[in-house]
Amino acid sequence: MYNKKSIEDIGEGFRGKRVLVRCDFNVPVKDGVITDDKRIVGALPTIKYLIAHGAKVILCSHMGRPHNVLDDKLVLDKKEKKKIDALPESEREAATAAALEKAKGDITKLSLKIVADDLNKKGIPTILAKDVVGPDAQAKAAALKDGEVLLLENVRFHAAEEKNDPEFAKKLASLADMYVNDAFGTAHRAHASTAGVADYLKTAVCGYLIQKEITIMGKALEDPVRPFVAILGGAKVSDKIGVINSLLEKCDTIIIGGGMAYTFFKAMGNQIGTSICESDKLDLARDIMAKAREKGVNFLLPVDNIIGREYKEDTTFMRIYSDSIPDGWMGLDIGEKTQELFSKTLVGAGTVIWNGPMGVSEWENFASGTRTVAKAIAESGSISIIGGGDSAAAVEKLGYADKMTHVSTGGGASLEFLEGLELPGIACLNDKD
């Protein structure tokens, strides 16, 4: 699917060069502490390779979605401004001042200082710039010595980042001589730091994380070991239309679970109670099932479900067959018979791709389906690819991650990759000769 140059294709060519590296340091933070450092750990092989080859390393990343810090200034977001504009004119000035004072928290909460501190603790001496393309970043980038590391401040502190503004991209690129993208999780976004900078830097290659993603997932899609099984869950059919249609051309079996299953049930004429359903996608669901039959793809839906009275963790629940969910009840997980069916289907599978939970897996009463599927994949002996997001979180939490061939670092990006769409953050990189 992609045949891109990697850092190993450059090697000693990095020596003495300033190299801008797009990482995904959007780590979860609670009470000023990083609660999961996997994204930082995942970036270390690429960073260490560049240091070992004498590069002057300039790291950049986003952190969250700042609403109040744009272009190095505190601003009101649209909701806040609308609320204040509705106040009497005499109250607006004080309300604006109070909102901006409160907004200062974004500067601290979404600063990459915590990542710089963590990199230092991990043995990567890292300098933090106070800005992204401002005078501090420029001065510190210019002063870098071979093998030194600079981390720029949160790129989303600039509105121009997500707009892929050419001038901002040009300023960012001017800090460096070469570009490395190692942030698969944002590769589906055409932002300044993920794609725009490659317009101004002749050498643009992928790091180890992206190289691994496109190699493993690309091989699975282009030349899968069969039988090839795809497991798709999550809430909505509409989120995965493209993926389903793409996989129908490649898979031997497609397994559907999660909330999206109830749209298919309704399309079949089954009662689904108050289960989640996209009523405007019923014809689409019928078309998908017809296409599966036409192509000889084994299309599996749940045969039984765990249903609840309300969408609540502690709601009353029971097991029932999928064709007879009563009024006033909603499906929240796959049932025991379905768990057995799906598990048996995975025995002997050659390649398995999984994206999306089987139920409301964050609630214990409705997590059994997701747990069972994760266990079955881990024990299948297949080439197993977990497509990021909730599925990746589930296998990590359950301790199965080391039993999977590959756990993707990007939920949205992996879905678009599986769909066969072009990812801007990868398409912009240099092709191999």
Q: What is the rounded distance in angstroms from the CA atom of residue 156 to the CA atom of residue 400?
A: 34
pLDDT-derived band of residue 66, with 50, 70 and 90 as boundaries? confident
Is 72 part of a structural domain of the chain?
no
Report pLDDT for 378.
Answer: 96
Close Cβ partners of 283 (under 8 Å, ≥ 6 residues apart)? 267
Q: Where are the beta strands (DSSP E) in 233-275?
A: 253-256, 271-272
Is 116 part of a structural domain of the chain?
yes
pTM, 2 dp = 0.90
Beta carbons within 10 angstroms of residue 38's beta carbon:
14
Q: Which domain holds residue 390?
A: 216-419
Beta carbons within 10 angstroms of residue 110's beta carbon:
22
Is 117 part of a structural domain of the chain?
yes
- The last residue of a domain, from among 140, 174, 209: 209
**Better-predicted residue by pLDDT, 78 or 17:** 17
Report pLDDT for 99.
Answer: 78
C-beta separation of 50 from 142 below 8 A: no
For residues 170 and 289, membership in a common domain is answered with: no
Q: Rounded to the nearest 5°, which phi and psi values hold at 296?
A: 75, 25
Instruction: Supply the DSSP symbol for 6.
Output: B
Is 177 part of a structural domain of the chain?
yes
* Beta-bridge mates of residue 318: 307
Is residue 105 over pLDDT 80?
no
Number of structural domains the chain divides into: 2
Nearest in space to 78 (alpha carbons), one of 64, 107, 99: 99
> In one letter, which amino acid is 200?
Y
Report pLDDT for 101.
Answer: 76
Least confident window among 38-52, 94-108, 268-282: 94-108
Q: What is the rounded distance in angstroms from the CA atom of residue 119 to the CA atom of residue 105?
A: 23
For residues 242 and 200, membership in a common domain is answered with: no
For residues 161 and 234, membership in a common domain is answered with: no
- Take residue 70 and report the two structure tokens written for it: 């744009």
Measure CA 52 to chain center: 29
C-beta separation of 4 from 429 below 8 A: yes
Q: 231: number of CA atoms within 13 Å, CB side?
A: 33
Least confident window among 94-108, 226-240, 390-404: 94-108
For residues 250 and 277, membership in a common domain is answered with: yes
Report pLDDT for 71.
Answer: 60
Is 430 part of a structural domain of the chain?
no
For residues 362 and 289, membership in a common domain is answered with: yes
For residues 191 and 161, membership in a common domain is answered with: yes
For residues 169 and 225, membership in a common domain is answered with: no
Dihedral sign for Cα atoms in the order 88, 94, 98, 100? positive
Nearest in space to 156 (alpha carbons), one of 140, 142, 170, 172: 172
- Which positions are catalytic? 39, 236, 389, 412
C-beta separation of 389 from 417 below 8 A: no
Is 99 part of a structural domain of the chain?
no
pLDDT-derived band of residue 67, with 50, 70 and 90 as boundaries? low
- The last residue of a domain, from among 209, 235, 270: 209
- Give the pLDDT mean for 248-261: 97
For residues 134 and 227, membership in a common domain is answered with: no
For residues 159 and 235, membership in a common domain is answered with: no
Q: 328: number of CA atoms within 13 Å, CB side?
A: 1
C-beta separation of 290 from 306 below 8 A: no
- The last residue of a domain, from among 173, 190, 209: 209
Q: What is the rounded distance in angstroms from the CA atom of residue 387 to the CA atom of residue 71?
A: 34
Least confident window among 70-74, 130-134, 360-364: 70-74
Least confident window among 84-93, 164-173, 216-225, 249-258: 84-93
For residues 120 and 230, membership in a common domain is answered with: no
Is 201 part of a structural domain of the chain?
yes
Is 427 part of a structural domain of the chain?
no
Nearest in space to 279 (alpha carbons), one of 289, 292, 265, 293: 265
For residues 173 and 304, membership in a common domain is answered with: no
CATH number at residue 194: 3.40.50.1260
Is residue 1 over pLDDT 70?
no
For residues 56 and 114, membership in a common domain is answered with: yes
C-beta separation of 112 from 151 below 8 A: yes
